[in-house]
Each structure stands twice: as C-alpha cells, then as structure tokens.
Amino acid sequence: MAKMQAAFVTAFGKPLEIRTVDIPTPGPGQILVKTEACGVCHTDLHAANGDWPLKPVPPFIPGHEAIGRVVALGQGVTAVKEGERVGVPWLASACGHCEYCLSAWETVCGEAQFGGYTRNGGFAEYVVADPNYVAHIPDGLEPHEAAPLICAGVTTYKGLKETDARPGQWVAISGAGGLGNLAIQYAKAMGFKVAAVDIDDGKLAHATERGADLVFNALKGDVAADLKAATGGGAHGVLITAPSLSAFKQGVGMTRKLGTCVLVGLPPGEFPTPLFNVVADCITIRGSFVGTRQDMAEALAFAAEGKVKADIELAPLSDVNSIFDRLSKGEVASRVVLDFRAA
Ligand code: NAD
Ligand code: ZN
Ligand code: ZN
C-alpha cells in the first residue's frame, strides 16, 4: 500500500511525531486530497496541548488550512471533480439538517466535525475530506497563498461582519499575528478605519504596512483610554484575535458606546467583564467561530480580486515542532505555511 508522511500529536504537550503511514482511502461520500500546502494556526497549538474543554483524541494529525488537488473520489461523490483544487477547513463537515444547518449556521451544528481536531487534518501529504464542506479555491490563487485564508481569513472576515460596524467607522483588531494580519487587510478592504493592538512593536510596524491607521502596544500605557481618545469615543467594532486573556478585558474597554466586541481568540480560561460599563454603554459582546461556506467563498473572493494577500513563510513538514515553539513564543511574523509541493 502506498505510504505518506504525516505529523501526529501522540500525547498532549509532547512534540509531534513524523510518521510514515498508509495513505487513507476515501469512504463513500468522501474524497482524497493530495496536500500542496497547509497553514499552521495557533489553534493547532491549542489542539496539541489539549487546551479546550472539548478535546481531540491522540493520536491525531492537526492542520485545518490544507490546500490540495482532489485525487480520488469515494462512492457517490458528485460535488467535486478529480483534479479540482480545494481547501480542507476547520469545519470539516456538519449534519446538514439541524436548526443551525438549516439557517446557514453550520458552524455551530452539534454534529460538526473539525479538521485536524476530531478528524485527521492537513499536516500530512494526503487528507480525506467531505466534498460538501471543502473550500473551492479560485483560479489564480496559489495554494500556499490560499492556505491561511481558509481559517485565518474566513474567521476574521466573518468576525468583522459580526461587529456590525459600517464602512467609515473604526474597528480595533487586538492581536496582529496570523489572524490579525489578515483581519487588518479585510477591514481596510471593507472600508473601515483600523486600529491594531499587539504586544510586539515589530508586529505593529508590519500592521502599519498592511494599512492600519493607528497602532497601540497593549503593554504600554492605558490602551483602552488612549484608543478611545484617538478615535473620538472608541471602536465601533472590536475583534479580539489575541490568544491572551488580558486582551479580552482590554478589548471590551476599547469598545465604543453601542459598539460590538467580537471574541475570536481562544486562550483557555475566563476573563473579567466590567459589567457596569457593558450595561451602561449598551455594548454587545459576541463570540464568533470560523465562518460558513458562504463566508468562505466571500473571503476567498477578496483574495482572488487582489484585495488581501496573506504574508507567509514557507517551511517543510519536518519543521513542525520548531514552528510550534516559535508560535507559542509569539515569534512568527504572521503565518507559517507547510509546503508539500517538493515532497
Ligand atoms: P498568532 O500566534 O499567529 O497571533 C497572535 C498574536 O497576538 C501575536 O501577534 C501576539 O503577539 C499577539 N498577542 C499576544 N498577547 C496579546 C495581548 N495581550 N494583546 C494583544 N496582542 C497580543 O495566533 P493566530 O493563529 O492568529 O490565532 C489567534 C487565536 O485565535 C488563537 O487562540 C486561535 O486558537 C484563535 N482562533 C480562533 C478561531 C475562531 O474561529 N474563533 C479561528 C482561528 C483561530
Ligand atoms: Zn485556525
Ligand atoms: Zn447540523
């Protein structure tokens, strides 16, 4: 049987193991995708550490930003063709008939499966996928450029929509890493004025290059007060991508009266909410989880039209542990993408 290389989480908090295993066979209704590229998201790190209440079961293959060509169809598949370029995202499948699926909120389906979490993901030369939930990659987008869009891109694009901010208004983006870097570009393309917040001055300099109108270092001074002063009352929409609990209270503090603070980062734990301010200022605090298939198509279209472009650093699969180490220390400039094309 033909073999492939894949990186496995074998125990939480332990280095990943590169193993040579059988190439999986797609079952009825499934497809096999030959991976060309797969982004490394901070969520993969949470998965490998078992950070969240819902835990994946080792051994498993992380990765939910895989792009590749369809190389085999299971029985009965008509939704995609062999040779098509697809993305295998976090939302790997859903039931299709619950109240959430029926109202186009498949992201919160109770039977949803998650790529690289409840199902093996894209840190592998081949990955099995559900053809009804793959992303369709527009012609003209290179696989390594498309990879970050299918999690970081769709998540921040959707999160910005969920702020309910309107063109010309202020949005603040807390965390200017893999997600934040794309969030800044989507926000500019959507017509917002953008304030970026991070704890790393290098990331903030990069945020300015990407179009941020204002930048704030979260560790210097009273950022919520400074941002409110600079924006004439706070951001109409706040998007928190930082994987740090302190960013959440700060993000609520940056929100304008009647504004919406959207929570996207997923550090384990809870954060204190300044209840009086939230109530008296009529602030909405809202969670947002990746995006639907329609959000995905819209997010990819922005990139196909040249309005956003992920900043990427290519690396081989064998570097996965050093990438995780750098990601945990905040040392990745924006997104590392595993490059499988030479393999
Ligand atoms: P990343 O490590 O690439 O970027 C995080 C950035 O946050 C870094 O630039 C870091 O310097 C900055 N940061 C750290 N502490 C901060 C603070 N206190 N204030 C401001 N900035 C701070 O991570 P990523 O891949 O962008 O993922 C970020 C988070 O989003 C993770 O927790 C991940 O699990 C989560 N996530 C959620 C969804 C969702 O659907 N809700 C989807 C993808 C990722
Ligand atoms: Zn992700
Ligand atoms: Zn459902």
Only one residue has tokens 């956003």, namely: 308
| CA-angle at 175, arms to 174 and 180, nearest 5° | 100
- Sequence-separated (6 or more) residues with CB below 8 Å from residue 187: 160, 171, 173, 194, 239
Predicted local distance difference test score (pLDDT) of residue 166: 98
Q: Which of 43, 296, 327 to mutate to test the pocket of ligand 1 (most atoms within 8 A of CB)?
A: 43
Beta-carbon-side half-sphere exposure of residue 62 (alpha carbons within 13 Å): 28
> Nearest-CA neighbor of 312 among 201, 152, 120?
152
17-22 and 335-339 beta bridge pairing: unpaired
Only one residue has tokens 């930003």, namely: 65
Is 298 touching ligand 1 by the criterion CB < 6 Å?
A: no
- Sequence-separated (6 or more) residues with CB below 8 Å from residue 220: none
d(CA 151, CA 291): 8
Predicted local distance difference test score (pLDDT) of residue 1: 82
170-174 and 193-198 beta bridge pairing: parallel
Predicted local distance difference test score (pLDDT) of residue 343: 59
Is 339 touching ligand 1 by the criterion CB < 6 Å?
A: no
Residue 90 CA to ligand 2 centre (angstroms):
7
What residues does 126 pair with on adjacent strands? 34
- Closest residue by Cα to atom 4, ligand 1, is 177
Residue type, 100: Y
Q: What is the pTM of this model?
A: 0.98
Residue 241 CA to ligand 1 centre (angstroms):
4
Question: What is the DSSP annotation of 58-124?
Answer: SSB---S-EEEEEEEE-TT--SS-TT-EEEE-SEEE--SSSHHHHTT-GGG-TT-EEBTTTB--SSB
3-150+291-339 under CATH 3.40.50.300, yes or no = no
Is 264 touching ligand 1 by the criterion CB < 6 Å?
A: yes
Is 161 touching ligand 1 by the criterion CB < 6 Å?
A: no
Query: Considering every ligand atom, which ligand is closest to the CA of 271?
Result: 1
Q: What is the pLDDT of residues 155-187, one digit of tens each?
A: 999 999 999 999 999 999 999 999 999 999 999
Helices (DSSP H) in 136-177: which residue ranges?
Answer: 143-146, 152-162
* Alpha carbon 246 to chain centroid, angstroms: 20
Residue 291 CA to ligand 3 centre (angstroms):
14
Residue 151 CA to ligand 2 centre (angstroms):
5
Question: What is the DSSP annotation of 268-327?
Answer: SS-----HHHHHHTT-EEEE--S--HHHHHHHHHHHHTTS----EEEE-GGGHHHHHHHH
The CATH architecture annotation of domain 153-287 reads 3-Layer(aba) Sandwich (3.40)
Delimiting residues of CATH 3.40.50.720 domain(s) in the chain: 153-287
Is 18 touching ligand 1 by the criterion CB < 6 Å?
A: no
Compute CA distances 112 → 94, 193, 203, 341, whole Å.
Answer: 4, 35, 34, 30
Predicted local distance difference test score (pLDDT) of residue 338: 98
Residue 242 CA to ligand 1 centre (angstroms):
4
Predicted local distance difference test score (pLDDT) of residue 239: 99
- pLDDT lower than 50: segments of the chain: none
Q: Which atom of ligand 1 is nearest to the CA of 200?
A: 11
Residue 24 gets which letter from DSSP? P
Predicted local distance difference test score (pLDDT) of residue 342: 74
d(CA 186, CA 153): 8
Delimiting residues of CATH 3.90.180.10 domain(s) in the chain: 3-150+291-339
Q: Which of 38, 40, 41 to mutate to test the pocket of ligand 1 (most atoms within 8 A of CB)?
A: 41
